[in-house]
Structure 1
Amino acid sequence: MDKQRDFVLRTIEERGVKFVRLWFTDVIGTLKSVAIAPAEVEGAFTEGIGFDGSAIEGLTRTYESDLLAHPDPTTFQILPWRGEIDPTARMFCDITTPDGQPAVADPRNVLKRTLAKAADAGFTFYTHPEIEFYLLKAGASPEAIEPVDHAGYFDNVPGGTAHDFRRRSVRMLEDLGISVEYSHHEGGPGQNEIDLRYADGLTMADNIMTFRTVVKEVAIEQGVHATFMPKPLYGEPGSGMHTHMSLFEGDTNAFYEEGAEYQLSKVGRQFIAGLLQHANEIAAVTNQFVNSYKRLWGGDEAPSYITWGHNNRSALVRVPMYKPGKSQSARVEHRGIDSAANPYLAYALMLAAGLKGIQEEYELPAEAEDNVWALSEGERRALGYRPLPSSLEDAVEYMEESELVAETLGEQVFRYVLSNKRREYQQYRSQVTHFELKHSLDII
């Protein structure tokens, strides 16, 4: 760590960095930032930077508000969109109390605690997300938003905004040390997807927060608006963050077993069983907004029922096709999580659910071989396919009864998320919407 700190201090001097931004997130996943001068960085490494934690959503209670942000030198990067005028760098932070204890409500710490439990069981957790988002024309009102194009899945749009946007975004991400696997136009008008190459769980959560910032910055630069809202357009696909996951024991993929069905090991099957068993309990975090349930229950390939399948894109959890000779790539894909989730909390809960399945040796139910959406309600019931929550209110009720979620998040985060989400749903429920006025004002 001392060598990494020395590297940061030397790079700041050699590159003429003028500002260093210290980043962390609140419980909902909003990125927070404080800029310090280069001369303050060494002190930040040794002592941290103090701030009022009670002013940050869910981070601490008012009567214990003093917190410290400690920059992680391994996350140091120069921000490419700042250019050569006043070069600016960033580091993610771990949050502690004044006596040096990790802040229990720091989302990054929640994930680190869960990764430590996985390590105690002999596992390293890797993820690979496919992040969808919409590009909209700037300046439109929320009532009249307009996508930048009307292209579809994998469409090539000569001279289109999306091409330049994705090229610029991918280049910035690579400059930040974040490897990109694919980028393409998605199914909705103005909808795009960029897939990040796999990394360990903590690095990937940091990468996702950086990714969202890059996308927003490039959008501003190009005169458009980028949104990770789960379902911004009625009648069009929502934006998911399908996440591929695997556990490794040293250099060995614990999800791979030669000769097993789909080459999926017992550990992999138990991990999926954990994801399915606890899917409803973790939904208020993997799908944390009122709008998230418009995506889950709006069709267009979003999963609505708790099922798994091999290459079945209507299932909540999918086992991708095995590539011969590539045991390292054996993985499972969670298709429920959306692009607006707090990656630290969501990945902590997805990992915890999978680990629970392994520890308790959950039995994996029969796979869904049919298109789950095409089945009748009676057929789904007969097959035992439970629905995901239909609203944020339902999700909160499931979460409230969950020992797994309470234990993983810790009491403070658990209570805050419940309170915050109840308040959001109450505000949503009390609105008089355009739909109601349009359908009822003249006829009642």
Structure 2
Amino acid sequence: MDKQRDFVLRTIEERSVKFVRLWFTDVVGTLKSVALAPAEVEGAFNEGVGFDGSAIEGLTRTNEADVLAHPDPSTFQILPWRGEIDPTARMFCDITTPDGQPAVADPRNVLKRALAAAADRGFTFYTHPEIEFYLLKSSKVENGVPVPVDSAGYFDNVPGGTANDFRRRSVRMLEDLGISVEFSHHEAGPGQNEIDLRYADALTTADNIMTFRTVVKEVAIEQGVYATFMPKPLTAHPGSGMHTHMSLFEGDTNAFFDASGQYQLSTIGKQFVAGLLRHAPEITAVTNQFVNSYKRLWGGDEAPSYVTWGHNNRSALVRVPLYKPGKGQSARVEYRAIDSAANPYLSYALLLAAGLKGIENGYELPAEAEGDVWSMTPAERKALGYGSLPTSLDHALTLMEDSELVAETLGEQVFEYVLANKRREWAGYRAQVTPFELESNLEIL
């Protein structure tokens, strides 16, 4: 840590950095930032930077307002979009109370606690997200509908198109920030794009996702367009998911790999998937935290609605891919419900906790879903024992409220805040008279 601190202080001086932004995330997953002068960074390392946590969504109660932000020197990066005029850097922070204890409502700390629980069992948790988003001509709507920058489709190559230039610029900027990108391509919706980040430990991945969103927004502004991670901005087109591939390692060994297992998935891997399936409905209020999230989950277009698993089955909630047969390091499972607007720290903490619960209690993996689950009748799904994900935010909150797993993983304060915050969102949504109702009812009733 001292070497990392020395490196940061030396780089600030050598690169003539003028501002250092301290980044952290509120409970909803909104990035927060405070800028320090370079002369203040050493003091921030030693003592933290104090602020009123009660002003941040869900971070503290009013009577516990004072908190400290402690920059993590391993996350130091120069922000490339700031250029050479007034060079600016950033570091992610851990939030503590004045007596040095981790703030219980710091999302980064929630994930750290979950990772520590995995480490106690000998596991390291790795994740690899596929992040989808829409590029729109602006944040304004025309005739009540957002306007995409193009009408291209899945994997389309559009010479000279906005999306091509956008992805190239974004990927280069991410690489400049030390964030490795695996793939980038146009997605199925008009103006929809996907950029996949390389595998990393879950804490690094969560930090990278927060940086990714900022990069995408900044590049969009630079290119005169607007980027949104809204789960379902267009009624007639696919929503934006954040399919996440996951694996557990024991040292250098992939605990999910068994050369003799079905799809080369080990017993531990099967139990992890069983845990994801059993607890998926109760964690959905976090992995899909907005009213709009349920328009994606229940709007078709390959979004998973039912609690199933499969191999080459895009309708399954959990998929077990087999990209590189016989290569143990690549064994992983893919969780397909989480959307691009989720708080990655809280979501990954819950996905890990659900999988570990499956291992701890020896959950048995149900039979694989081999057909198209969407095209089945309700009676067919019931006969096969396929449950469903929540159909609305209200439904998801009801399931979460009774979940010991979620309460234990998030901690009492975050658990209570998420419930209260999202109930307010649902109440506000439910009170709206929508264009659908006016068009359907006004003239005939």
With normalisation by structure 2, the TM-score equals: 0.99
Instruction: Tell me if 1:136 matches 2:136.
Output: yes
Deviation at residue 321 of structure 1 after TM alignment? 1.5
- Distance of 1:32 and 1:380 partners within structure 2: 44
Q: What residue in structure 1 maps to residue 64 of structure 2?
A: 64
Alignment of 1:24-63 (within 5 A): 24-63=24-63
Deviation at residue 322 of structure 1 after TM alignment? 4.4
Q: What residue in structure 1 maps to residue 77 of structure 2?
A: 77
Alignment of 1:407-418 (within 5 A): 407-418=408-419
Q: SS at the partner of 1:12?
A: helix
The letter of the residue matching 1:360 is N
Q: SS at the partner of 1:145?
A: strand
Identity of aligned residues (%): 81
Deviation at residue 441 of structure 1 after TM alignment? 1.1
Alignment of 1:80-119 (within 5 A): 80-119=80-119
Segments of 5+ residues of structure 2 without an aligned counterpart are none
- How many residue pairs get aligned? The number is 444
Q: What residue in structure 1 maps to residue 17 of structure 2?
A: 17
The letter of the residue matching 1:61 is R
Instruction: Tell me if 1:359 matches 2:360.
Output: yes
Deviation at residue 80 of structure 1 after TM alignment? 0.2
- Distance of 1:139 and 1:345 partners within structure 2: 28
| 1:262 and 1:322 in contact (8 A); partners too | no
Q: What residue in structure 1 maps to residue 371 of structure 2?
A: 370
Q: SS at the partner of 2:210?
A: helix
Q: SS at the partner of 2:415?
A: helix
For residues 266-296 of structure 1, what are the alpha-carbon distances to aligned partners after superposition, in whole Å with 9 as ceiling and x for unaligned? 0000000000000011000000000000000
| 1:182 and 1:195 in contact (8 A); partners too | yes
| 1:135 and 1:148 in contact (8 A); partners too | yes
The letter of the residue matching 1:426 is A
- Distance of 2:184 and 2:31 partners within structure 1: 24
Q: SS at the partner of 2:103?
A: coil
Segments of 5+ residues of structure 1 without an aligned counterpart are none
For residues 190-211 of structure 1, what are the alpha-carbon distances to aligned partners after superposition, in whole Å with 9 as ceiling and x for unaligned? 0000000000000000000000
The letter of the residue matching 2:374 is W
| 1:287 and 1:340 in contact (8 A); partners too | yes
Instruction: Tell me if 1:428 matches 2:429.
Output: yes
Instruction: Tell me if 1:397 matches 2:398.
Output: yes
Deviation at residue 138 of structure 1 after TM alignment? 1.6
For residues 312-354 of structure 1, what are the alpha-carbon distances to aligned partners after superposition, in whole Å with 9 as ceiling and x for unaligned? 1100000002413421000000000000000000000000000
- Distance of 1:214 and 1:135 partners within structure 2: 13
Q: What residue in structure 1 maps to residue 237 of structure 2?
A: 236
For residues 115-148 of structure 1, what are the alpha-carbon distances to aligned partners after superposition, in whole Å with 9 as ceiling and x for unaligned? 0000000000000000000000025337231000
Deviation at residue 400 of structure 1 after TM alignment? 0.2
Q: SS at the partner of 1:138?
A: strand
Q: What residue in structure 1 maps to residue 270 of structure 2?
A: 269
Instruction: Tell me if 1:332 matches 2:333.
Output: yes
Q: What residue in structure 1 maps to residue 346 of structure 2?
A: 345
Alignment of 1:101-250 (within 5 A): 101-138=101-138, 140-141=140-141, 143-250=144-251
The letter of the residue matching 1:306 is V
Alignment of 1:378-389 (within 5 A): 378-389=379-390
The letter of the residue matching 1:56 is I
For residues 368-426 of structure 1, what are the alpha-carbon distances to aligned partners after superposition, in whole Å with 9 as ceiling and x for unaligned? 00011111111001000001000000000000000000000000000000001111001
- Distance of 2:327 and 2:272 partners within structure 1: 20
- Distance of 2:313 and 2:330 partners within structure 1: 18
| 2:145 and 2:234 in contact (8 A); partners too | no
| 1:237 and 1:300 in contact (8 A); partners too | yes
CA RMSD of aligned residues (A): 0.7
The letter of the residue matching 2:252 is D
| 1:118 and 1:124 in contact (8 A); partners too | yes
Deviation at residue 363 of structure 1 after TM alignment? 0.5
Moved beyond 4 Å, runs of 4+: none
Q: SS at the partner of 1:206?
A: helix
| 1:263 and 1:322 in contact (8 A); partners too | no
With normalisation by structure 1, the TM-score equals: 0.99
- Distance of 2:244 and 2:57 partners within structure 1: 26
- Distance of 2:343 and 2:297 partners within structure 1: 17
Q: Name whichever of 137-146 and 209-218 sits farther off.
A: 137-146
The letter of the residue matching 2:61 is R
Q: SS at the partner of 1:133?
A: strand
- Distance of 1:145 and 1:122 partners within structure 2: 47
Q: What residue in structure 1 maps to residue 289 of structure 2?
A: 288
The letter of the residue matching 2:115 is L
